[in-house]
A and B are shown apart, each in its own frame.
Chain A
Amino acid sequence: MVDATNTQKVKSKQHSAEAMTQEGFSLFPFFIEIASLFLFIIHFFKEALRPPYEFNEFLRQCYLIGYKSFSLVGITGFIMGLVLTIQSRPTLAIFGAESWLPAMVAISIIREIGPVITAVICAGKVGSSIGAELASMKVTEQIDAMEVSGINPFNYIVVTRVLACTFMVPLLTVFADAIGLMGAFAGVNIKGDTSFSLFFFQVFNALKFTDIFPAFIKSFFFGQAVGMIGCYKGYNCNEGTEGVGKAANSAVVMASLSIFIIDMIAVQITSFFL
């Protein structure tokens, strides 16, 4: 009996040691990843400030990232406003506060839902495409080909894409917010009768500068996170064609997660100052 207990204790110690070892192994690559992402970000800022500035490529990326995402972001924004309004109405109706519907929906869209949903959509559409494109460029030696031509591939490929994301996601957010409010207007009028001018009077009456400004600022960080992580995953892909899929997938997952983390930090900072 004593022997059995001792054996169990030894086994239990072995299991915990194994678990610790496994935990150690699983955490180590995570920290390595964070460290290399950090180095990648430093490299980005160094290259971004250094000529030559690839302005034409930056504009091309703005077109691909911004303009080509307009329809998707617009449709999503409209549905978002419409659904939020329809879902919120019954709850407000219980308190007899249906007249607050435009204000409540506007604050929700502008402050939180517009920037976050737009950024998550961009993480899915833009982040994955950047990750896959750069990974396939790496696998097919196109990045090496730029390097051997004496051209800095980081400047041409990474800096332009990250900057384009940084500037386009806030614009897409403004667009999604505007279309979201149109959706909310449609939602309000499904069961009510509110004029366009009254709806927007109520919306702008409820909104303050402190609702709009922090949300707009954080969307720059969302955009930068989407571009940076997409580029990081693609640029560091080293596993052949299988790595292309992995890079695209992990770019979306990591960018989406980082959007929520940035959002959490942004909310804390905003509430601290306001």
Chain B
Amino acid sequence: METKTTDTAIDATPTPATASASDEVVVAIKHLKKTFGSKEVLKDISFQLNKGENLVVLGKSGTGKSVLIKCMMRLIQPDQGEIEVLGKDILKLKEKELNDMRKKIGFLFQSAALYDSMTVGENLEFPLREERGIPAEEIKKRIQEALQNVGLEDSLYKMPSELSGGMRKRVGLARTMMLKPEIILYDEPTTGLDPVTSKEISKLILEVQKKYDASSIIITHDMECARITANRIMVLKDGEVVQEGTYEELKKSDDPWIRSFFE
């Protein structure tokens, strides 16, 4: 059963994202290409993400949206291009440096990817296991705070199998926030959820971004999620960026294919 956000949770606001981004570039992708077999999934993608900005990547299924953010975490090795994150080319980092960099980037998986064999509390504690010198009390406090932020403070000892889809996403988001990342990548955060829960998750994304001053890339084809969270929207078609702009700008696009997302 879905646990409702409590008073201690982040106050969800119904207003869409406002332009709060600075000019500081935190992610710069240049000429990114990725091919699987004979299928060219990403064809020369280039874009930037500014500090504090929420960039929504929109596009049909199979256009390479998830591949794009997995390349950014180096879960998938791109064929060509540069991925600069927080000033470092992520494709040239050695294992230790890559792991350190990954701790600065949060990733919310489409399926939430909670560890089945662990309780919610253990799931949240897991990313901190290699952080030396954090006292047990501080870890406990961080877990409580993360659960409060997503309105699930009663779920500390629950197993992931006892949670609903929306709750799993919330715990996934809480786990992502444990390392206080500077950049958060969301892979279809509202897929498979009912409209009400989708809206709650979208608002939560916005609030988390505001609270931690994080920059986010949100992969979605849920227009309500895009409306609530986006400072800027980038539309992908057949592995290429076809248009960029705010929600309102794209809604009035000359391209009927792009307008069809908003209808």
* Chain A interfacial positions (CB closer than 8 Å to B): 52, 136-137, 140-142, 144-152
Contact = CB atoms under 8 A, between A and B. Distances in A.
Given A52-B130, A137-B115, A145-B113, 13 more contacts: A137-B116, A141-B109, A144-B109, A145-B107, A145-B109, A147-B73, A147-B75, A148-B107, A149-B103, A149-B126, A150-B102, A150-B130, A151-B127
18 contacts: A137-B116, A140-B113, A141-B111, A142-B113, A142-B114, A144-B109, A145-B107, A145-B109, A145-B113, A145-B115, A147-B75, A148-B105, A148-B106, A149-B102, A149-B103, A151-B99, A151-B126, A152-B99
B79 interface: no
Contacts of A141: 109-111, 113
B129 interface: yes
Interface string B93-120: 0000001101101110111011110000
Contacts of B179: 149-150
Contacts of B126: 146, 149, 151
A151 B110 CA distance: 20
Given A52-B130, A144-B109, A145-B107, A150 B115 contact: no
A147 B127 CA distance: 10
Contact of B73 (A136, A137, A140, A148): A148
A146 B117 CA distance: 13
Contacts of B111: 140-141
Interface of B: 70, 73, 75, 99-100, 102-103, 105-107, 109-111, 113-116, 126-127, 129-130, 179
Nearest to A60: B117
Contacts of A136: 116
B103 A150 contact: yes
A181 to B, nearest CB: 36
B124 to A, nearest CB: 11
Contact of A142 (B70, B100, B115): B115
Contacts of A147: 73, 75, 102
Residue among A136, A146, A150 facing the most chain B CB atoms (10 A cut-off):
A150
A178 B114 CA distance: 42
B32 to A, nearest CB: 18
A151 B109 contact: no
Contacts of B116: 136-137, 140, 142
B130 A151 contact: yes
Contact of A150 (B110, B114, B127): B127
A208 B111 CA distance: 57
Nearest to A140: B111
A136 B129 CA distance: 23
A148 B130 contact: no
Contacts of A151: 99, 126-127, 129-130
A141 B113 CA distance: 5
Nearest to A56: B129
Contacts of B114: 142, 145
Contacts of B115: 137, 142, 145
A136 to B, nearest CB: 8
Contacts of B129: 151
Contacts of B99: 150-152
Contacts of A148: 73, 75, 102, 105-107
A150 B113 contact: no
A137 B113 CA distance: 8
A91 to B, nearest CB: 49
CB-CB nearest 10 A-B residue pairs: A145-B113, A150-B99, A149-B127, A141-B113, A148-B107, A150-B103, A150-B102, A141-B109, A142-B113, A148-B73
Given A150-B130, A151-B129, A144 B102 contact: no
Contacts of A150: 99-100, 102-103, 127, 130, 179
A149 B73 CA distance: 10
Contacts of B102: 147-150
A140 B113 CA distance: 6
A52 to B, nearest CB: 7
A227 B55 CA distance: 44
Contacts of A145: 107, 109, 113-115
A145 B109 CA distance: 8
B71 to A, nearest CB: 13
Nearest to A144: B75
A144 B113 contact: yes
Contacts of A142: 113-116
Contacts of B106: 148
A140 B103 CA distance: 21
Residue among B70, B105, B115 facing the most chain A CB atoms (10 A cut-off):
B115
Contacts of B109: 141, 144-145
Contacts of B103: 149-150
Contacts of A149: 102-103, 126-127, 179
